[in-house]
Amino acid sequence: MAGLQSIEGLVSGLNTTEIIDALISVERKPAVLLEERQAEITKELTAFKALSAKILAVQTAVGSLATARALNEASISISDEDLLSATADGTVTGGSYTLNILSLARNHQIASQGFSDATQAVFGTGTITLALGSRSATTIEITEGENSLVEIKNAINEADVGVTASIINDGTASNPYRLVLTGEETGQRNKIVVTSSLTGGQNFDFATASFDNPEAEFSEDATARVALGATAAFTGSVNKTYTFTVGGNGAQTVGQGNIALNWTDGITEGTVIVSQADTEITGPDGLKLTFTDGSLVAGDTFEVSTFAPLLQQASDARVSIGSADGDGSPIVIRSTTNTIEEAIPGLTLNLKGITTAETGPVTLQTGVDTSAIREKIETFLGAYNDALEYISDLGKYDAESQAAGILMGDSTLQTIESRMRNAIGATVAGLDQSLNALSAIGIRTDSTGRLTIKDSGKLTAALNDDYDAVIKLFTDAGTSTSEGITFISGSSSIIGGSTFAVEITQAATHGYLQGLTMTDPTATPLSLTTANNRLKLRIDGVVSDEIVLSDRTYSSGEDLANELQTRINADAKIGSRGVSVEWVDLGDTGYLKLSSATYGSSSKVEVMASISNNAMSQLGLASGVSHAGQNVAGTINGEKATGKGQILTGNDGNRTTAGLKLLVGLT
């Protein structure tokens, strides 16, 4: 029938669908409201997450300004960067310096005489003893079956004595292979000392200069042959090659008249005369030659090369600072390396070449890099303005569109904005009134509330005239009446300009291992062998590789301590941790003391017992006592503080010192 509606297949004269829909709508009203609120909350949460990212950007920018080190940007100008480079650890005093690089630091390098083969076991057996500079000497055993040139080179490198061995082929026809020893450290004091005691075969000579065998390019008509004389002994010190050319005309018979040999070493030249066979003739620099019977042909040549074992002298770097003009008297700085850290305060110099009359001195100018500092300030201002603009968008009402920001009226948003504006406009307590606010260096808010550098000249003048004051405006800073206590950082709870009384009840200490008392090796030498020359240490929780001491006899406690120090320094795991080894002399007895370089309760030196062939008993370390370091302890302003190593920090919740950090270097 017309006008009837159906529900569940039944016929009804009532519009029950509309009635039920209305009832359901009323029942779902709370759910709809919750769904709408959920959507709003999701939008608010998204907005706060985006705002958090903006605030984080401000925090990062502030972090780049928060420490004096971050703002310590140095300007360095060098006239010749091929000869010198420099880096700054923060700011440096402005000035101009004249430098002459007189010499570079070099490592010691020596070579042996030549040998005909590198792989054949032609050497004797015995020992090779090596030392570099003040390091303890190391003895290397050369045994039968491991006595070729290559195997000896490998044995030296595996001994890790601070000397690198290599083999070169100098290209000569006879005995071209030489063993080259190179010190791993530069400086005049780091010379290689080597003693080769091999018997039953060839031995090494790193001291004697010599001549190589002549290498001839004779024509087919030449029947005489040339050789070194038995008494040839090179008296020079610079390696060179002499080229000899047969003079005269055509073929000439040795022993029938004089045959002129014209020679040159590329710089000097001369002539020697051959008058008879099998008789030494004298050439330059102690050279002696002999010729067999036969003929020499005019124009034929032969060469004789010299060999001086000193390839490179160990030397220090020397730099003069100052100009001799105007009656000046430059000072000369010496260094064992080409990196010099203390010649000019705040600068590390890296030497690359030597100045000459042609290059002239190097001019180095230093100052404050105001452009780099200004860039950091502008980055901070940009991040601050971006965050405030976003806050404004979230909380504003647009009357024209009648649209409200997602967080309009939100108290949290208003608090964040208020705190940011107050922090920017506040003065810094404890600073001079002339430079205790951003406005004092030309930074102000414009009509829209954005921070800008209104007066660029004012900022530049402040950086140039009172750089330290500008640094203090942006950073935590503090001074101490004690040279042993240094301010590190403050916190938001620290009131600027405050004075704090510091009481130290315990200075930080190093952890150390003290061995048992043993007989002084000066009185009774101590011998270590491959059966008892190994150690394994744990330093501040880091376990070393096996440390192998030299298989030899030690004649003093200092010798023993030096050997152990050398081996620890060479260890890949703990060598860079600054462990120090000391022999404590008690007269006829003494003990070894191993100290960590770190401070505090985590500073420890321990021996590991689980290795074979260990030297713990021989060194008095098997029952040695390991003492952990102690943390600094004390109070700041009478309030509790926590020590970790040398750092003393005011406890959270303290009324005046929460978060204040001090470095305590007292002993």
Q: Are residues 180 and 250 in the same domain?
A: no
Percentage of the chain surpassing pLDDT 70? 90
Dist. CA 260–CA 255, nearest whole Å: 12
Q: Is residue 498 part of a domain?
A: yes
Quick one: tokens of 9? 């297949």
Structure confidence by residue, pLDDT tens digits, 634-644: 998 899 999 99
Give the mean model confidence (pLDDT) for residues 568-596: 92
pTM, entire model: 0.58
- Taking alpha carbons only, the member of 283, 284, 261 closest to residue 274 is 261
520 pLDDT more than 70: yes
Structure confidence by residue, pLDDT tens digits, 456-485: 888 878 777 777 777 777 766 667 788 888
589 pLDDT more than 90: yes
Give the mean model confidence (pLDDT) for residues 81-103: 85
Contacts of 219 (CB under 8 A, 6+ apart): 297, 299, 300
Structure confidence by residue, pLDDT tens digits, 343-397: 888 889 999 999 999 999 999 988 777 777 778 888 888 888 888 888 888 888 7
Lowest mean pLDDT among 91-105, 119-133, 515-529: 91-105
Dist. CA 483–CA 230, nearest whole Å: 72
Give residue 8's pLDDT: 42
Please tell me which of 154-163, 377-386, 422-431 the model is most confident about, judged by mean pLDDT: 154-163
Give the mean model confidence (pLDDT) for residues 150-164: 93
5 pLDDT more than 70: no
Q: Are residues 538 and 637 in the same domain?
A: no
Q: Is residue 467 part of a domain?
A: no
> If pLDDT is split at 50, 70 and 90, which confidence band does 72 have?
low
Give residue 6's pLDDT: 37
238 pLDDT more than 90: no
Which residues constitute the domain of residue 280? 211-308
Contact 485, 667 (CB under 8 A): no
- Which residue, of 183, 206, 229, is where some domain finishes? 206
338 pLDDT more than 80: yes
User: Could you tell me whether strands 485-489 and 589-599 are parallel, antiparallel, or unpaired per DSSP bridges?
Assistant: unpaired
Q: Are residues 269 and 326 in the same domain?
A: no
Quick one: tokens of 307? 């060999």
Give the mean model confidence (pLDDT) for residues 18-44: 63
Q: Is residue 379 part of a domain?
A: no
Percentage of the chain surpassing pLDDT 90? 52
Dist. CA 461–CA 605, nearest whole Å: 53
Quick one: tokens of 238? 């610079």
Q: What is the DSSP letter of 208?
A: -
Q: Are residues 532 and 623 in the same domain?
A: yes
At 600, which CATH number?
A: 3.30.70
Beta strands in 292-376 (DSSP E): 295-297, 301-307, 310-312, 317-321, 331-335, 339-340, 347-351, 362-368
Quick one: tokens of 1? 């029938």
Give residue 12's pLDDT: 42
Give residue 230's pLDDT: 94
pLDDT, mean over the chain: 86
Give the mean model confidence (pLDDT) for residues 416-438: 75
> If pLDDT is split at 50, 70 and 90, which confidence band does 417 have?
confident
Q: Is residue 29 part of a domain?
A: no
Q: Is residue 323 part of a domain?
A: yes
> If pLDDT is split at 50, 70 and 90, which confidence band does 657 have?
confident
Q: Are residues 536 and 583 in the same domain?
A: yes
Q: Are residues 97 and 111 in the same domain?
A: no
- Which residue, of 181, 206, 231, is where some domain finishes? 206
Q: Is residue 524 part of a domain?
A: yes
Burial of 584 (0-12, 13-18, 19+ CB in 10 A): middle
By residue count, the chain amounts to 667
Domain count, the chain: 5
Q: Are residues 535 and 559 in the same domain?
A: yes
Q: Are residues 297 and 227 in the same domain?
A: yes
Give residue 163's pLDDT: 95
537 pLDDT more than 50: yes
Give the mean model confidence (pLDDT) for residues 133-137: 86
Give residue 372's pLDDT: 75
Q: Is residue 651 part of a domain?
A: yes
Q: What is the DSSP string of 155-190?
A: HHHHH-SSEEEEEEE---SSS-EEEEEEEEEESTT-
10 pLDDT more than 50: no
- Which residue, of 273, 308, 343, is where some domain finishes? 308
284 pLDDT more than 90: yes
- Taking alpha carbons only, the member of 432, 493, 443, 431 closest to residue 636 is 493
227 pLDDT more than 90: yes
Dist. CA 188–CA 38, nearest whole Å: 78
Q: Are residues 202 and 268 in the same domain?
A: no
Structure confidence by residue, pLDDT tens digits, 604-641: 999 988 888 898 999 999 889 999 999 999 998 899 99
Bridge partner list, 238:
none
Question: Greater confidence, 310 or 89?
Answer: 310
Number of Cβ within 10 Å of residue 180's Cβ equals 17
Dist. CA 496–CA 509, nearest whole Å: 32
Bridge partner list, 195:
129
Q: Are residues 623 and 514 in the same domain?
A: yes
Please tell me which of 106-110, 321-325, 529-533, 652-656 the model is most confident about, judged by mean pLDDT: 106-110
> If pLDDT is split at 50, 70 and 90, which confidence band does 315 have?
very high
Question: Greater confidence, 206 or 407?
Answer: 206
Question: Greater confidence, 646 or 372?
Answer: 646
Q: Is residue 642 part of a domain?
A: yes
Q: Are residues 234 and 87 in the same domain?
A: no
Lowest mean pLDDT among 32-41, 220-229, 400-409: 32-41
Give the mean model confidence (pLDDT) for residues 73-96: 82
Give residue 87's pLDDT: 87
Lowest mean pLDDT among 106-115, 209-218, 372-381, 656-665: 372-381
The angle at the Cα of 354, spanning 350 to 360, to the nearest 5 degrees, equals 110
Give residue 44's pLDDT: 75
Q: Are residues 78 and 218 in the same domain?
A: no
Question: Greater confidence, 58 or 525?
Answer: 525
Give residue 426's pLDDT: 73
